[in-house]
Amino acid sequence: MSAEMIADPATTSTDRAVLRVDGIVKEFDAGKTGKVVAVDDVSFTLNRGETFSVVGESGSGKSTLGRVLVRGIEATAGSAWYRGDEAADEIDFLDLGRRELKRVRRELQMIFQDPFSSLDPRMTVFDIIAEPLKATTRVSTRDLQRRVREIAERVGLDPSHLRRYPHSFSGGQRQRIGIARALITEPKIIVADEAVSALDVSIQAQIINLLKDLQDERDIAFLFIAHDLSIVEHISDRVAVMYLGRIVEIAETDDLFARPRHPYTEVLLSSVPVPDPDAKRERIIPLGEVPSPTDRPSGCHFSPRCHYATDLCRSEAPPLAETRDGRVVACHRADELTLRGIDHDPTGEPA
């Protein structure tokens, strides 16, 4: 491949970088079948105030990556260099001991996928929202009450809601409670794992707009983990595509959707519904079945399913590397293939 390999993705770091994820690996023990490598050497940079989305099918490792980054589970290897204040030194968030983690954790919060199960049914809304602040900061009762009321109001909850329990709320309102809980500590980064996928479409739009407004106000960086590409296109500045634990492409959102460079990205985009019912867009069906994560194919993991695979693809894993025209792709044939994206012209015809 003619592309220049990205030896150190940290070189993409900018003054705006709030998190540099470097070589994260997460393995799970799978008993007799060996190990499952759920996340395999993943690196990227997250900038202040941006929305960086990670997409991929179920089993791609994207949710595991999110849980590793908020220390919900421990990484097998790798670092996540965090710099909350632009003037401060970076610290490896994944290497912090318990006491330091408690101090820094308020700056990195998570919104969960399922608003129905992520809220403790025995706690009042007030206690749910207050909990992360109480756990990480010394705060007087008076200040706590003021801050909970302020954040509840900002996300569209009524003060009377604070005395109630989660079961008395709709899905959209529960997700607002989850957002208030994530925001109360004034985080610099929010990891949102399928944050709107359990909601009705009209409520999804409200929550997305709320998240965007909050991001603009507070310069929060969002790591948005999702499978719905229509939403991802709408909200993201950049997108990473994951397949069987590896990032196979990272791009600016417009570039990725109009001109995908990895064959797996092309497959994903071909499944996005076209708004115009008369527009015809052929869905690209990958070959074969999704391989088991316990038995990932050698070489390029996508090779058994790829319509463009060659012998080289089956024997050698392509590095995530820069193409001749500056795109970042893990494909031996990235420089020569012309792949189909989504053209948003009114005819609805694909590019």
Binding-site ranges for ligand SF4 (CB under 6 A): 262-263, 300, 302-303, 306, 308-309, 313, 318, 331-333
C-alpha dihedral over 36, 37, 38, 42, to 10 degrees? 180
8 A C-beta contact, residue 259 and residue 339:
yes
* CB 312, min distance to ligand SF4, A: 7
Q: Residue 310, Cα to own-chain centre: how many angstroms?
A: 31
CA distance 222 to 53: 8
Q: For ligand SF4, give the closer residue by CB, 93 or 302.
A: 302
State the minimum distance, in angstroms, from the CB of residue 273 to ligand SF4: 24
Classify residue 43 by burial, with Cβ atoms within 10 Å: 0-12, 13-18, 19+. buried
Q: For Cα atoms 90, 40, 230, give the angle at the middle one, nearest 5 degrees.
A: 85
> Which residue, 107 or 335, has its beta carbon nearer to ligand SF4?
335
Minimum distance from CB of 266 to ligand SF4 (Å)? 9
Do residues 263 and 313 make contact, with C-beta atoms less than 8 angstroms apart? Answer: no
- Quick one: 46 or 321, whose CB is closer to ligand SF4? 321
- Please identify, using beta-carbon distances, which residue of 174 and 332 lies nearer to ligand SF4: 332
CB of 300 to ligand SF4, least distance (A): 3
CB of 254 to ligand SF4, least distance (A): 22
Which residue's CB is nearer to ligand SF4, number 300 or number 342?
A: 300
Contacts 24+ apart (CB under 8 A), 297-304: 300/330, 300/331, 300/332, 301/243, 301/244, 301/245, 301/246, 302/243, 302/244, 302/248, 302/263, 302/264
CA atoms within 13 A on the CB side of 55: 30
| Shortest separation between residue 231's beta carbon and ligand SF4, angstroms | 25
Helix (H) or strand (E) holding 86: none
DSSP notation for 14-25 = -TTEEEEEEEEE
Nearer CB in complex with ligand SF4: 104/290: 290
Nearer to ligand SF4, 28 or 308 (CB): 308
Q: Least CB distance from residue 40 to ligand SF4, whole Å?
A: 15
DSSP state of 296: P
- Closer residue to ligand SF4 in complex, CB, 165/308: 308
Report in angstroms how near the CB of residue 24 gets to ligand SF4 at its nearest.
22
Collapsing DSSP to helix, strand or coil, 341 comes out as: coil
